[in-house]
Structure 1
Amino acid sequence: MTDQPADRISTREAARRLGVKPETLYAYVSRGLLASRRAEGGRGSTFDPDEVEALARRARPAAAGADGPSDSGGGGGGNGAWVRIRTGVTLIEDDGLYFRGVDATGLATAYGFEEVAEWLWTGVLRRGVRFTAPQPLLKAARSAGDALPAGCGPMDRLRVAVIAAATADPLRFDLSEEAVLGTARSLIPTLVGALPPLGRPHSGEGGLAWRLWSRLTERPADEASLRVLDAALALLVDHDLAASTLAARVAASARAHPYAVVSAGLGALDGPLHGQASALAHRTLAEVLERGGAGPVVAEQLRAGQRIPGLGHRLYQGEDPRARLLFHLLGQVPAASDALAAARDLAATAARHTPLHPNVDLALAVLSVSAAMPAEAGETVFSVARTAGWIAHALEEYQERPLRMRPSGTYQGPPPPQPLP
């Protein structure tokens, strides 16, 4: 038997410490739960004892029947272990949000959305960068959107636009970093350009927020309102491993091209528990304004056993830093004063029942209500912005072993063999 380095342990010892068979141990390796290294002499594998112990600690609660961490970023295996997804994109810690180690609110204050997206993708800041949509992609996306039935909303158009744009890009299967970055810089403005304009574009040249504004409302934009929209896009680019981001990483793990990765993210976003939160906040805030106060609205929400939209976030004990910055910027928009006062009334009234802070959905609702945008506007802003985050996570996942996120199912059906039906 070959001697192992002092800081490594053998396959047999690793399996013993985990309480599993060697076959299960190598299944953990194939799913990215453990890293192995070929033993000296080429026979067998060795393991880092600290990594084995960390996996054992994560497996024990599930083995005892307890719930694993809901935001761990992966599915549980047959022995209760969780896939660990290492990422250098976003950190949420002590009620702070950081993109590649830099405070997100500071980035959104100093730079525009496209500049923040470049930082998220590359860790390099490109001053004054502007994304442009290639005509073939834009034409395909608009044609597909125009073919949709009457009454389809902006999210339907975005989902169709991604698929249509992919068909117009013969190089979409090139997963090299430069190719993926080129796709990202083209796809995001294509999504915006695929939305039908509702009003006249803001005069002069500007970034993506300038182009998106006229597709969200008929009202002309002022500089202060555009600043809020640009900051919202920058703040929403990523938020760790939300459900849509995990879906995007699973697609990237299967080596899906960037358009398919974004489609996966949009698919997960379509549920009522993720993407529609801002629309619920919009409708609640509009009702507060209509009824002249938050009291009756909060009372009806609580009576119906519903949570109050736009308040609280499970990743922040205190204020959502994104909401804090957006509320500050909204204070500089005269047209937003009534909606802003209604949002504060809603938060203060609800605080008598549960001490919850406003989240980014309520801040988006103040913008959308005050600018006469439809209720779905917040989800549209979220989707355009989060496309940048999904691409950032895809870039990371393309560097990992393919198909590493393959959880094992726990079969609970009738035991075989069953008679042929």
Structure 2
Amino acid sequence: MTRIPHEPSGEPNPLRALTLDRLRCRTSMKWRAYPDDVLPLWVAEMDVLPAEPVVRAITDALALGDTGYPAGTGYAEALAAFAEKRWGWDGLAVERTAIVPDVMLGVVEMLKLVTGPGDPVVVNSPVYPPFFQFVEHMDRQVAEAPLGADLRIDLDVLEETFRRVTEGGRAAAFLLCSPHNPTGTVHTAAELAAVADLADRHGVRVVIDEIHAPITAAGVDFVPYLSVTGGENGLSLMSASKAWNLAGLKAALAIAGPGSAADLARMPEEVSHGPSHLGIIAHSAALRDGTDWLDSLRAGLDDNRRLLAGLLTEHLPAVTHRPAEATYLAWLDCRALGLADDPAEVFLRRGRVALNSGIPFGTGGAGHVRLNLATSPELIEEGVRRMAAALD
């Protein structure tokens, strides 16, 4: 695959556009879950204004009264063009896509296609907590294959887990997070091909959450799972919601590889009624015309990753972390601070800063917190200051 180099866009850093006072006027979860004296650096919402092409597309739709039901393949076409230009991947076939309400509801529908009640679903913990919640709610069994000490997929552990869960010919799936949340790891083509080979040998179906794919650090290339050798049997979920902060405008795409097209075709037609028509308009505009905004965001996140590393060295040297290769999240190992399994509770109670507790992320999460970097440098500085003050 030939990728297009990313050049500076010239757009201002979206992470510097809003003051704390303006952010506190928001009514979404990030800014309403805690009292006003708490600095929220937790849930995956970004402190940005939307890209102008998105605002224009939504405004035009409202002016036209275009607020009905979704139709057509515009979203898939926009994503296919983005994938070819951004990742050098021309294998996203529009005819092998379907709109779904959002990525996690799409994951549920894909798992229903390839597993039955009680079947195991393998995950690489520590991992996004809804992987556990949604899988268990749909009457499947979570089987953990923990990441290695380097926070990458441990292929030996994964193979042993595949072998164990498929004993006796039992159906099983692997729910892969790519890029990985919370660590920000970007799986390489070689790693993904090895995963595909293991899945094929053990008869495990792979469903992939690729929601953070557009948000990579400088010099890091995202590799779509369906593009690697052996990946043609996978079922991917993608969305513009994380990269352009559109979680409140629900829409996502399920994408089948050539070998799984028949599976996707079995998805009930009524699932496609769930996405928001305005969401699809917004996501399509972001993918088509919002790439300059995205690259300014990515540059701002690179700056924030460097800032956080320096602040931790200065104020919390016992906290360790690996700067993420993707996402706008930072996974912080706080075990050396002696705050027991849930340091987020201590940082909230003593420092009035809200972070995600590592415990719901599964094995490997205790003693860790997840920090949201998609905010202004000033708020990151204030957040680390509060974390350090919580130790006094």
For Structure 1 versus Structure 2, the TM-score category normalised by the shorter chain is: under 0.3
Pick 1 or 2: higher relative contact order, CA cutoff 8 A, min separation 6: 2
Structure number with higher strand proportion: 2
The structure number with the bigger radius of gyration is 1
